[in-house]
Amino acid sequence: KNQVEQSPQSLIILEGKNCTLQCNYTVSPFSNLRWYKQDTGRGPVSLTIMTFSENTKSNGRYTATLDADTKQSSLHITASQLSDSASYICVVSSGGGYNKLIFGAGTRLAVHP
């Protein structure tokens, strides 16, 4: 069964600190892996997208890694800001004719001053 699991479920950090969010997946076939940021009550917004051959990709203070052998990905946030408070969703695409995405349940991050 195609699944995407994320940990931790929730996380609280102080402003300025770094954090790392984890994603494990069992999706086959694998096309690409994405990280989305979702503010409360809003639609998800893409942060990064990586294919099988990409190990790391950065978007500002966000850096995603991918280990296709162990089927693990991480999202590292550097020098957190209050605006980073949101849910971060790991999404794996199994390809196919309509770009089917399998979503994780997300990690809810709260950045406190």
Partner 1 sequence: SQTIHQWPATLVQPVGSPLSLECTVEGTSNPNLYWYRQAAGRGLQLLFYSIGIDQISSEVPQNLSASRPQDRQFILSSKKLLLSDSGFYLCAWSVGTGRYEQYFGPGTRLTVT
Binding positions for partner 1, rule: CB under 8 A: 4, 31-32, 41-46, 49, 51, 89, 93, 95-106
Nearer to partner 1, 4 or 64 (CB): 4
Query: In whole angstroms, how close is the CB of 95 to partner 1 at the nearest point?
Result: 6
Nearer to partner 1, 17 or 100 (CB): 100
Query: In whole angstroms, how close is the CB of 63 to partner 1 at the nearest point?
Result: 19
Nearer to partner 1, 2 or 18 (CB): 2
List all residues 6 or more positions away from 74 whose beta carbon is below 8 Å from its beta carbon: 20, 21, 22, 23, 64, 65
Alpha-carbon gap, residue 15 to 84, rounded angstroms: 9
Alpha carbon distance, N-terminus to C-terminus of the chain: 41
Query: In whole angstroms, how close is the CB of 61 to partner 1 at the nearest point?
Result: 20
